[in-house]
Amino acid sequence: MTTLLCAALAFYAFCGYVALGRTSSPEGGIVDVENTESNLTSDRSVFGADSTRWAQYAPYFPVEPYAAPPASCEVDQVHIIQRHGARYPTSGAAARIQAALARLQTATILSDSSLAFVSNYTYTLGENSLVPLGAQESYDAGQEVYTRYPSLVDADRLPFVRASGSERVEQSATNWTAGFAAANNGVYVPVLSLVISEEGNDTLDDASCPQHISSPLPDAYIDIYAANLTAELNAGAPGANLSNADTHALVTLCMFESVARQERSAWCDLFAGLDAWDGFEYWADLDKYYGTGYGNALGPVQGVGYVNELLARLTSTPVSDSTSTNRTLDASPATFPLNRTVYADFSHDNLMIPVFAAMGLFPTDPLDPAGASIGAGVWNVSRMVPFAGRMVVERLACEEGYEPADGSADAEGRYLRVLVNQAVQPLAFCGASADGVCGLGAFVDSQAFAKSGGNGTWDACFEAAAA
């Protein structure tokens, strides 16, 4: 049984840094962001360069180095939505992996030398919970935020932190708060202020739309991308009789075992040798696009509630929403304050995808279910929602006379930009300049889909399916 261990810093009165299977507490003190990112790169190198192609199962990586905002602007408010850290497979995924592994290990002869390790392989992974790397990812993210935005924090302006009510999400939030506190030597100690139940309206989970169903297209694509892989495996292990679904499950074992053991799995070398990554990564792109992304009629609307909360915080006005928000929580300053400078929300990948879509990020032509659009657009799940992936919205206060590169000044002198895993987003929908900056007013105006409640699609979440 997995044991939950909490290593609290001496100054920290709460159980902050949560890891499963070990206790770890990175040294405190001010963290140099550049060195921190360098260390993370070094840590990721044990997984291999191709780990940045592991889609939603990739260990966190910054897509680009952090670029400071324009010199005449300063960040005066930060909004973060972050996925939980690396985890074990879900119970369903674990069952599929073990069934596929059992079939492969029944083969009487492993005639391919690349399969030599399989005979003595023992499956030891847990289920559902954070792995130690996942705890570290969130801790590091908390350190990074304090180090990047120290001027936004003082005793009266601590981050307001929320989490969706799933154990791994809550633990990721407390790991983040512990890292944040460590970065300032415990002078400013944020806490997890609110856990939102996943049994009701929850803007940090994707379970509020009963009529939402996932598309069969991603599963159908497994039979396309995995066919050659399956043939190679069955040829090298006569009698295994693996299906394409079995092969896909074993591909995911590469990622789950790597993040659990914090070293590259032999399964990764096997599938890298079979050129699996193009197909696997595109399967993930289809999975998210047709799951809760642009390709699902009831996908983007599930992100509307969060976007409307974001608009309320950016403008210090009450939340206006009739979708997935909890109106009781959002109406109270205790559970939805409008006077904070740092907000950090912790969530799941399947909720962050509709948030991106509701906002208009990563616009793309429909993805071809047969694979013709591989590598053709900006919709790349590896770069969108790796483990501990995050979107950061920086509100900017700019000096009088500042004009973005496109010449469109904001009447109030307020601007913003959006970063996803440190990559500045273009924000063409609000007339952003080349540096990704657009006026706050223009951004608010651009969010018509969210402000309208999803253009009527929210009602369809509760309409009985046609007979």
Note whether 45 and 269 are within 8 A (CB).
no
Tokens of 59: 């260990």
Tokens of 301: 């609307």
Dihedral sign computed on CA atoms, order 156, 157, 162, 167 = negative
| Amino acid at residue number 105 | Q
| Residue 40 confidence (pLDDT) | 41
| Residue 34 confidence (pLDDT) | 36
| Residue 242 confidence (pLDDT) | 97
| Residue 407 confidence (pLDDT) | 61
Three-class SS of residue 40?
helix
What are the residues whose beta carbons fall under 8 Å from the beta carbon of 315, sequence distance 6 or more? 440, 444
Burial call 261-295: b when 16+ CB within 10 Å, e when fewer: eeebbbbbebbbebebbebbbbbbbbbbbbbbbbb
Q: What is the DSSP string of 221-272?
A: HHHHHSHHHHHHHHHHSTT----HHHHHHHHHHHHHHHHHHTS--HHHHHHH
Low-confidence ranges of the chain (pLDDT < 70): 1-43, 405-408, 465-467
Q: What is the bridge-based pairing of β-strands 17-20 and 438-439?
A: unpaired
Positions marked active-site? 84, 349
Distances (CA, A) of 233 to 110, 216, 225, 239, 252: 9, 25, 14, 10, 15
Task: List phi, psi (to 5°) of 416.
Answer: -155, 165
Q: Where along the chain do its domains lie?
A: 30-87+131-208+298-458, 91-124+216-289
| Residue 402 confidence (pLDDT) | 81
Residue 155 to residue 462: CA distance in whole angstroms: 44
Note whether 352 and 418 are within 8 A (CB).
no
Q: What is the pLDDT of residues 240-263, one digit of tens each?
A: 999 999 999 999 999 999 999 999
Distances (CA, A) of 412 to 339, 427, 445: 18, 19, 14
pTM of this prediction? 0.90
| Amino acid at residue number 317 | T
Residue 433 to residue 194: CA distance in whole angstroms: 36
> Closest Cα to residue 440, out of 407, 408, 465?
408
| Residue 31 confidence (pLDDT) | 31
CATH topology of domain 30-87+131-208+298-458: Rossmann fold (3.40.50)
Tokens of 268: 């990764």
Note whether 437 and 396 are within 8 A (CB).
yes
| Residue 464 confidence (pLDDT) | 75
| Residue 406 confidence (pLDDT) | 63
